[in-house]
Amino acid sequence: MGTSIRGGWVVDPANGIDEQLDIHVEDGVIVGLGPSPANFEVEREYHVDGNVVCPGLIELRASLREPGQEHKATIASESRAAVRGGITTLCCTPDTDPVVDTPAVVELIHQRAGAVACARVEVQGALTQGLEGSRLSQMGALRDAGCIGVSNAYRVMENTEVVRRAMEYAATFGLTILLFPEDPWLAQDHAAHEGAVGTRLGLPGLAETAETITLARDLLLVEASGVRAHICGLSTARGVEMVAQARARGLPVTADVALPNLFLTEMDVTDFNSACKVRPPLRTQRDREALRQGVHEGTIATLCSAHQPHEPDAKQAPFTEAAPGISGLETLLVLTLRLVDEGLLTLQQAISRVTYEPARVFGLEAGTLSPGRPADICVFDPERHWMLTRERLWSEGRNTPFIGWEFKGEVTHTFVGGRLVYHLEDA
C-alpha cells in the first residue's frame, strides 16, 4: 500500500529533475516518479499543486544538547523544530555531556531519536577522547556504532601531532573528518571580529588569522594524510580563497558556511546585540561578499545553520559574557531560498547545497529523490510569506537574530521514511 504526492514541482538536483511530477512511495522508500509503477496501490494521496517538492533537508551541524544540556534543548524538541523547517536529517555534533566518544552515547542518541520518530538523527563522533585534543577516540568502534564522521566540535586541537595522527587514523576507517578552523591562542577571550566595529565597542577581537592559520595547518595535514575532510564554518575571504586553492589542487576537501554569516556582518553587533554573537564571528562586508561568491562558485558547496540552541539566560548577559551561537533549524530553508531571490543561486543549486551536497560529505543515502532511496521529502509553498517571531519557534532555543524578518517560502509537508511527520494545518 503506497503513498503518492501529486502535482508538485519536483526539484531533485542529484538527478537534474526540475519539473511537475508525481512521487510514489512504498514501505518508506521512493518507488517511482511520474506515472505510478506497475502494481502500485495507492492508499494515501497528497495533492500539492503549486508547491515545490524536494529531498528533505540535511542540517550538517546541529548541537542537539542531549545528553547533558537538556536545559538548552532536547533531541525531541529539536527534531520537531527540524521537520517544521523541512529538515529530515540532523547531523548532531559530539559536544554533548558526556561527549560522543563511546558507542554507548551513540546508541543513547539513536534511541532517543528513535523514540521521538521525527527527523533522522545521525551522529558525529568525537575525534579525541573527551574532545580534549590529546588522545584519539575509538574511531573504529564509533563507526561501527553508526557514527557518520568524526569531529572535535568547537574545541580546536592545539597539538599538531595529535591532529596529524587523528587524520591518519580517521582515514584508516574511511571516516570524514570535520575541522573547525580557529587558533585557540588567537581566539582567547575573543568576542567579535577584530575590526573597526570591535575596536569602537571595545570588544576583544578575533583576527582573520585565527581562522587562516589553523586552516593552513589543517589543509597541509589533509594533503599529507589523504583523509576526506570537511571545513566547518568559513568566515573570511582569505579562508574561502585557501579552500578554493586546496580543491583546485585536488584535495578531498569540502566546506560549509553558516547561513547567518551570509546575511549579517560586524555592523550587526553595533548595539551589543548578543543574538549576533557567533563562532566564528560576523566579519566585514568584504568577507560576506567573498563567502557569497564562494557559495556561488561552489567552493562552499554546503550551507548549514550551525544550529546552537540556548536557554534565555545564556544570552541574557553583556555581549562578551553571552554564549555564542544561533538557533537556526527553522531558518535553514528560508535563508537558503533568499539566496535564490537575491540571484546568487538557482533553485536547483540552492536545494542541492542543503540536501545532496551535505549527504555527500558523509556518504549518506539521503539527499535525493532517486527510486530506491528513503522517502525523506520536503514540500514547501515557495510564494507564502511569513514573519519570524519568538512565539513561532518550535526549537527550545529562541536565540536568533532573525526575529522580525519577513521570509518567503514555507514548509507545508515533511515526510521521513514516507511517513508524514509535519503538516502545515492551513496549507
Partner 1 sequence: MNLQLTEDGRLRHFLTIEGLDRPLLTRILDTAESFVGVGERAVKKVPLLRGKTIANLFFEPSTRTRSTFELAAKRLSADLLNLSVSASATRKGESLMDTLRNLEAMQCEMFVVRHEASGAAHYIASHVAPHVSVINAGDGRHAHPTQAMLDMFTIRRHKERFEHLKVAIVGDLMHSRVARSQIHALSILGVPEIRVVAPRTLIPPFIENMGVHVYTRLNRGLKDVDVVIMLRLQHERMDSGLLPSEHEYFRYYGLTEERLAVADDNVIVMHPGPMNRGVEIDSDVADGPHSVILQQVTYGIAIRMAVMSMCLGNPPAVEGGEG
Chain residues binding partner 1 by CB under 8 A are: 191, 194-196, 198-205, 207, 271-272, 274, 313, 316-321
Smallest distance from the beta carbon of 214 to partner 1, in angstroms? 19
Structure-block grid coordinates of residue 14: 542529484
Cα four-point dihedral sign 196, 201, 204, 206: negative
Smallest distance from the beta carbon of 202 to partner 1, in angstroms? 3
Task: Give the nearer residue to partner 1 in terms of CB position, either 99 or 186.
Answer: 186
Sequential DSSP letters for 330-376:
GGHHHHHHHHHHTTSS-HHHHHHHHTHHHHHHHT-S-S---TTSB--
Smallest distance from the beta carbon of 275 to partner 1, in angstroms? 13
Residue with cell 514541482: 9
Question: Terminal CA-to-CA distance of the chain, rounded, Å?
Answer: 25
Alpha-carbon gap, residue 62 to 44, rounded angstroms: 33
* Strands laid side by side in the 419-423 sheet: 17-20, 9-12, 52-55, 377-387, 406-416, 419-423
Smallest distance from the beta carbon of 133 to partner 1, in angstroms? 22
Task: Give the nearer residue to partner 1 in terms of CB position, either 149 or 195.
Answer: 195
Question: What SS3 state is found at 193?
Answer: strand
Smallest distance from the beta carbon of 216 to partner 1, in angstroms? 21
The helix (H) or strand (E) run that includes residue 125 is strand 120-126
- Per DSSP, the chain holds a count of helices (H) and strands (E) of 13, 20
Pairing of strands 302-304, 253-258: parallel
What is the number of other CB atoms lying within 10 angstroms of the CB of residue 313? 11
Task: Give the nearer residue to partner 1 in terms of CB position, either 312 or 372.
Answer: 312
Smallest distance from the beta carbon of 131 to partner 1, in angstroms? 23
Contact 289, 270 (CB under 8 A): no
Smallest distance from the beta carbon of 312 to partner 1, in angstroms? 10
Smallest distance from the beta carbon of 271 to partner 1, in angstroms? 7
Task: Give the nearer residue to partner 1 in terms of CB position, either 24 or 315.
Answer: 315
Task: Give the nearer residue to partner 1 in terms of CB position, either 319 or 394.
Answer: 319
Task: Give the nearer residue to partner 1 in terms of CB position, either 130 or 204.
Answer: 204
Task: Give the nearer residue to partner 1 in terms of CB position, either 149 or 205.
Answer: 205
Alpha-carbon gap, residue 262 to 83, rounded angstroms: 23
Residue with cell 517560502: 409
Smallest distance from the beta carbon of 188 to partner 1, in angstroms? 9
Task: Give the nearer residue to partner 1 in terms of CB position, either 314 or 377.
Answer: 314
Smallest distance from the beta carbon of 94 to partner 1, in angstroms? 27
Give the residue from 124, 123, 85 showing the smallest Cα distance to 259: 85
Burial class (CB in 10 A: 0-12, 13-18, 19+), 247: middle
Task: Give the nearer residue to partner 1 in terms of CB position, either 125 or 195.
Answer: 195
Q: Angle at Cα 411 formed by Cα 406 and Cα 414, nearest 5°?
A: 155
Task: Give the nearer residue to partner 1 in terms of CB position, either 213 or 420.
Answer: 213
The helix (H) or strand (E) run that includes residue 320 is none
